[in-house]
């Protein structure tokens, strides 16, 4: 045994829209953040100077397994050290993850996703509760990355708890795998299903009589809410309530509640629900317009592949005009011209297609799909400029920064310098470029005291999140913070991420 010191644990906030499919013992439930709690400014959250050297003493087994170590990407794949959290504390790392906001910049979205999936040694005070793992899974759910969240849940299967199952159950509901969710309950006798969940799963399995009896019992003993009772009654006997209006949806709407509304023929729109719900509209049960809109939301957050967006955009001819249909039409016309190799048509159609995609903040998925082909075409004028910008927004930004479309003006030279990692001696063309310049002009970066502290304690994961937080604050008005965040990314060895982020700051309209 080894003595490990840990400060008094602070409660971690859980996402509030999770279903309650099982009855969780009080000690396994993740406490919700008090309603009166205010979110601290993200780049001023306290950093513990002692790292993992706190006051209260707890006992842990040397080398004992911790769910917090679970990951899908090895250090060789991520480039992060195995001791990613260094001398940090579990709750501080989890709180930093919960606050993290990539502010619509795909480079930071990708970095955060990699961090959430990274396999790493847990903090010294981790224990066996899986608090950091839970924070990582909840962040993936909040970002709409359901496939990744489920993969992480599957990897943590030996440590199955009521809270982990709760999240797996909701992922199954939102991805149209209700039967799998119910079957998992049967395979886990240690998990005690709530009565509403029993009713739902019995009905899914075709045992309608038992489901009805269970519902009446739940109503009699007060173990089902008024809304759940109304929805389940309609679910079990729709003819009886055919003339009655469906109950008003509660707040928040859980995946189980959402699925029940769909089952009674009153589906709730997902556009105003948390991003994770958009996955439900990717199903063939949803109409094409709902599928496209859901794919746009998820692609904007980096939660799905650009190829999935391409497949939906080109699935059929637009059914109408206006809104999403104008975007689909412009996309299809441009794609057809590019596939045909028609230079004149591409030059005519690219500006409108790019403008429509920019309206939906989908420039980077668009660049990922088409920048390589455009770089090979002898475009001129506005189309050449757009093709160059798309090249800089693509994964192949460094090579394409010297493509035939590179403009010879100040802006083009500065962008090319960012792509190559140095703007020394270059004139910044605007205020954003001036804010970014100090991180790439060859001077020694000036790190804040909290950044130095994290680096000295090898708390690389938290330092990475601090860099992201600085960039967020910069986008909300304090432009000087941008260079600080970018310089910290470079100090951490995340050179490609720093360059891509700088290019996105220059080329995308993501002001706070």
| Spatial distance between the Cα atoms of 49 and 399, rounded to a whole number of angstroms | 42
Question: Do 442 and 374 sit in the same domain of this protein?
Answer: no
Question: Do 452 and 423 sit in the same domain of this protein?
Answer: yes
Question: Do 205 and 238 sit in the same domain of this protein?
Answer: yes
pLDDT for residue 190 is more than 90: no
In a domain? residue 478: yes
pLDDT for residue 398 is more than 50: yes
- Give the model's pLDDT for residue 319: 80
| Listed residues 373, 406, 439: the one ending a domain | 406
The residue-averaged pLDDT of 495-500 equals 98
pLDDT for residue 202 is more than 90: yes
pLDDT band at 2 (very low <50, low <70, confident <90, very high): very low
- Give the model's pLDDT for residue 34: 38
Q: Write out pLDDT tens, residues 18-41.
A: 999 987 544 433 334 434 334 344
In a domain? residue 433: yes
Question: Do 366 and 330 sit in the same domain of this protein?
Answer: yes
| Spatial distance between the Cα atoms of 143 and 279, rounded to a whole number of angstroms | 11
Residue 213, both tokens: 């009896």
| Spatial distance between the Cα atoms of 492 and 476, rounded to a whole number of angstroms | 24
- Give the model's pLDDT for residue 101: 95
Mean pLDDT over all residues of the chain? 88
In a domain? residue 306: no
Tokens 């397994």 identify what position?
65
Say which residue, 315 or 189, is predicted with more confidence: 315
Question: Do 453 and 490 sit in the same domain of this protein?
Answer: yes
In a domain? residue 75: no
Closest-CA residue to 68 (of 4, 148, 129): 129
- Give the model's pLDDT for residue 44: 53
Question: Do 448 and 502 sit in the same domain of this protein?
Answer: yes
Closest-CA residue to 207 (of 186, 236, 178, 181): 236
Q: Write out pLDDT tens, residues 82-133.
A: 999 999 999 999 999 999 999 999 999 999 999 999 999 999 999 888 999 9
In a domain? residue 87: no
The residue-averaged pLDDT of 352-374 equals 97
Question: Do 392 and 438 sit in the same domain of this protein?
Answer: no
- Give the model's pLDDT for residue 56: 41
Antiparallel, parallel or unpaired: β 57-60 and 2-5: antiparallel
pLDDT for residue 79 is more than 70: yes
Residue 10, both tokens: 């602070």
pLDDT for residue 12 is more than 70: no
pLDDT band at 186 (very low <50, low <70, confident <90, very high): confident
pLDDT for residue 378 is more than 80: yes
Task: Kindly report the pTM of this predicted structure.
Answer: 0.88
Residue 331, both tokens: 């996309």
Computed from CA positions of residues 52, 57, 61, 67, in that sequence, does the dihedral angle turn out positive or negative?
A: negative
- Give the model's pLDDT for residue 15: 86
Domains contained in the chain, number: 3
pLDDT band at 14 (very low <50, low <70, confident <90, very high): low
Calculate what percentage of the chain has a pLDDT beyond 90: 76
- Give the model's pLDDT for residue 61: 43
In a domain? residue 49: no
| Spatial distance between the Cα atoms of 261 and 423, rounded to a whole number of angstroms | 55
Question: Do 401 and 442 sit in the same domain of this protein?
Answer: no
Q: How far is CA 363 from CA 17, 299, 505, in A?
A: 30, 10, 13
CB 224 within 8 A of CB 218: yes
59: enclosing H helix or E strand: strand 57-60
pLDDT for residue 394 is more than 90: yes
Question: Do 429 and 395 sit in the same domain of this protein?
Answer: no
Q: Write out pLDDT tens, residues 51-69.
A: 443 334 344 444 456 899 9
In a domain? residue 352: yes
pLDDT for residue 134 is more than 80: yes
Q: Write out pLDDT tens, residues 436-447.
A: 999 999 888 889
Residue 446 burial class via C-beta count within 10 angstroms: exposed 0-12, middle 13-18, buried 19 and up: exposed
Question: Do 423 and 501 sit in the same domain of this protein?
Answer: yes
In a domain? residue 52: no
| Secondary structure in 3-state letters for 65-79 | CCHHHCCCECHHHHC
Coil, strand or helix: which one is 58? strand
| Spatial distance between the Cα atoms of 34 and 38, rounded to a whole number of angstroms | 9
The residue-averaged pLDDT of 298-320 equals 94
Say which residue, 485 or 22, is predicted with more confidence: 485
Residue 409 burial class via C-beta count within 10 angstroms: exposed 0-12, middle 13-18, buried 19 and up: exposed
| Listed residues 224, 243, 263: the one ending a domain | 263
Q: Which domain holds residue 253?
A: 197-263
Cα atoms found within 13 Å of the Cα of residue 432, Cβ hemisphere only? 18
Q: Write out pLDDT tens, residues 271-288.
A: 999 999 999 999 888 899
Question: Do 503 and 423 sit in the same domain of this protein?
Answer: yes
| Listed residues 383, 406, 429: the one ending a domain | 406
The residue-averaged pLDDT of 235-263 equals 92
């Amino acid at each position: 045994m080894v003595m490990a010191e840990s400060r008094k644990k602070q409660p971690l906030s859980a996402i509030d829209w999770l279903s309650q499919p099982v009855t969780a013992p009080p000690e396994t439930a993740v406490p919700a953040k008090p309603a009166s709690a205010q979110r601290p400014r993200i780049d001023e959250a306290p950093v513990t100077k002692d790292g993992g050297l706190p006051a209260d003493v707890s006992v842990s087994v040397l080398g004992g397994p911790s769910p917090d170590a679970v990951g899908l990407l090895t250090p060789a794949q991520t480039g992060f050290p195995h001791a990613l959290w260094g001398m940090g504390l579990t709750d501080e790392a989890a709180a930093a993850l919960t606050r993290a906001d990539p502010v619509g910049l795909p480079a930071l979205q990708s970095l955060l996703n990699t961090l959430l999936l990274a396999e790493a040694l847990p903090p010294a005070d981790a224990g066996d509760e899986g608090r950091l793992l839970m924070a990582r899974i909840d962040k993936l759910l909040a970002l709409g990355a359901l496939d990744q969240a489920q993969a992480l849940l599957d990897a943590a299967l030996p440590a199955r708890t009521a809270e982990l199952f709760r999240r797996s159950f909701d992922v199954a509901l939102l991805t149209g795998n209700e039967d799998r969710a119910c079957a998992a309950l049967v395979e886990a006798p240690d998990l005690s299903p709530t009565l509403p969940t029993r009713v739902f799963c019995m009905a899914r399995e075709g045992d309608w009589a038992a489901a009805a009896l269970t519902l009446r019992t739940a109503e009699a003993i007060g173990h089902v809410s008024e809304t759940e009772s109304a929805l389940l009654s309609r679910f079990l006997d729709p003819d009886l309530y055919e003339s009655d209006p469906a109950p008003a949806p509660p707040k928040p709407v859980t995946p189980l509640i959402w699925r029940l509304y769909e089952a009674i023929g009153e589906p709730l729109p997902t556009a105003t629900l948390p991003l994770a719900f958009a996955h439900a509209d990717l199903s063939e049960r949803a109409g094409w317009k709902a599928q496209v809109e859901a794919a746009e939301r998820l692609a904007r957050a980096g939660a799905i592949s650009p190829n999935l967006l391409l497949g939906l955009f080109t699935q059929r001819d637009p059914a109408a005009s206006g809104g999403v249909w104008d975007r689909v039409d412009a996309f299809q016309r441009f794609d057809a011209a590019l596939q045909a190799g028609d230079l004149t048509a591409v030059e005519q159609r690219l500006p409108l297609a790019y403008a429509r995609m920019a309206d939906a903040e989908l420039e980077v998925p668009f660049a990922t799909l088409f920048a390589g082909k455009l770089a090979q075409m002898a475009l001129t004028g506005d189309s050449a400029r757009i093709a160059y910008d798309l090249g800089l927004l693509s994964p192949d930004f460094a090579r394409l920064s010297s493509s035939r479309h590179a403009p010879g003006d100040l802006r083009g030279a500065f962008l090319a310098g960012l792509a190559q990692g140095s703007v020394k001696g270059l004139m910044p063309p605007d205020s954003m470029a001036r804010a970014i310049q100090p991180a790439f002009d060859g001077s020694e970066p000036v790190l804040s005291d909290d950044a130095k502290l994290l680096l000295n304690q090898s708390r690389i994961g938290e330092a990475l999140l601090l860099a992201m937080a600085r960039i967020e604050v910069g986008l909300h008005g304090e432009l000087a913070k941008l260079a600080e965040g970018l310089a910290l990314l470079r100090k951490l060895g995340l050179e490609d991420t720093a360059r891509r982020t700088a290019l996105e700051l220059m080329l995308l309209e993501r002001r706070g």
